[in-house]
Amino acid sequence: MSDKATSIVVAGSGPAGMIAALGFAKAGFDVTLAGPEPSRPDQRTTALMNPALALLDRLGVLAPIRPHAAPLRTMRIVDATKRLIRSPTVTFRASEIGEEQFGLNIPNAVLVQTLSEAVRSHAGIDWRPCMVSAWSLGSERATATLSDGSTISALLAVAADGRQSPAREAAGISVRKRPCPQSALVLNFSHRSNHGYVSTEFHTETGPFTQVPLPGGYRSSLVWVVTPKMAEELAALDEDALSALIEEKMQSMLGRVTAEPGRQVYPLSTLSAFRFAKNRVALVGEEPQWFPPIGPRG
């Protein structure tokens, strides 16, 4: 296979990698993106705040995303513990700071598809649908060897290759990892009452139970943080039993609830890198910092 010299090589074809590739290409750099095209179904959503949306807008990908996303106009925090003395409910409204919304809740499938189409159509990005199998990092260039045997030599390597980042390890960047005694059950559900584009985060003894609006008014996404054992038990429940538990947990705030197919369970952990760049490798996405989902955030 032939070798290639480029300005930037981005390892990892998830949203962070594709956004990095588009950003560098828009700035005029020659970019090679290494990673397979996303294919695994993803029922999750990503809540992005206005500064992140401004970046997507500058990259020209926000307009096709917006019709499929739900605005986050109000955020509410509820103390749903069983303590005798509980904190009062706190409500934040975007209108209070002169904004129409805090951000958008975007289905991951829509975000990934839109970014993929933008990357494929950009003349300044060469997408190689292969994993990086090895790294050679010199004082002047970083060289990635792909699984098809080809190599890419670049002035800068951007690591967007996941929490176990081989690029980060090759660069010798140390991290601090800590597993959490929690897992997140993620799913979408429909409900009888209109959510009014209000996101509600219930604080419970096991972690946050967060409802985030989806487009249309009568569907929401859910991130329910519990113990790993409880997460597996919840995921195994039939539709009626799980729907009843979700409605009970929400105190029937949105009326009758119906859980949709496509439940996913994610073990939670934290990760923090001691530096964000070294040996011509720069970290983006989850590589430098990873925190469990605690509700909408940019």
Among 34, 237, 242, 268, which residue's Cα sits nearest to residue 144? 34
Q: pTM of this prediction?
A: 0.89
Same domain, 17 and 126: yes
Q: What is the mean pLDDT of residues 124-135?
A: 95
Please give the pLDDT value at position 220: 96
Please give the pLDDT value at position 164: 86
- Identify whether the C-beta of residue 128 lies closer than 8 Å to the C-beta of residue 152: yes
Same domain, 100 and 114: no
Same domain, 185 and 256: yes
Same domain, 113 and 231: no
Say if 125 falls within a structural domain.
yes
Please say if the pLDDT value at position 278 is more than 70: yes
Confidence of residue 163 (pLDDT cuts 50, 70, 90): confident
Same domain, 279 and 188: no
Q: Write the CATH number for 256.
A: 3.30.9.10
Please say if the pLDDT value at position 179 is more than 90: no
Same domain, 50 and 121: yes
pLDDT digits (tens, 9 = 90+) for 77-115: 999 999 999 999 999 999 999 999 999 999 999 999 999
Say if 211 falls within a structural domain.
yes
Please give the pLDDT value at position 297: 36
Please give the pLDDT value at position 1: 44
Please give the pLDDT value at position 3: 75
Domain of 170, in residue numbers = 3-54+108-176+271-290
For residue 228, CA distances in Å to 210, 224, 259, 270 come to 17, 11, 20, 15
Same domain, 15 and 130: yes
CA pair distance 262, 186, nearest whole angstrom: 9
Same domain, 83 and 200: yes
CA pair distance 123, 26, nearest whole angstrom: 10
- How many domains does one find in the chain? 2
Q: What percent of the chain has pLDDT over 90?
A: 84
Say if 297 falls within a structural domain.
no
Same domain, 116 and 30: yes
Q: Kindly report the average pLDDT of the chain as a whole number.
A: 92
Confidence of residue 298 (pLDDT cuts 50, 70, 90): very low
Confidence of residue 126 (pLDDT cuts 50, 70, 90): very high
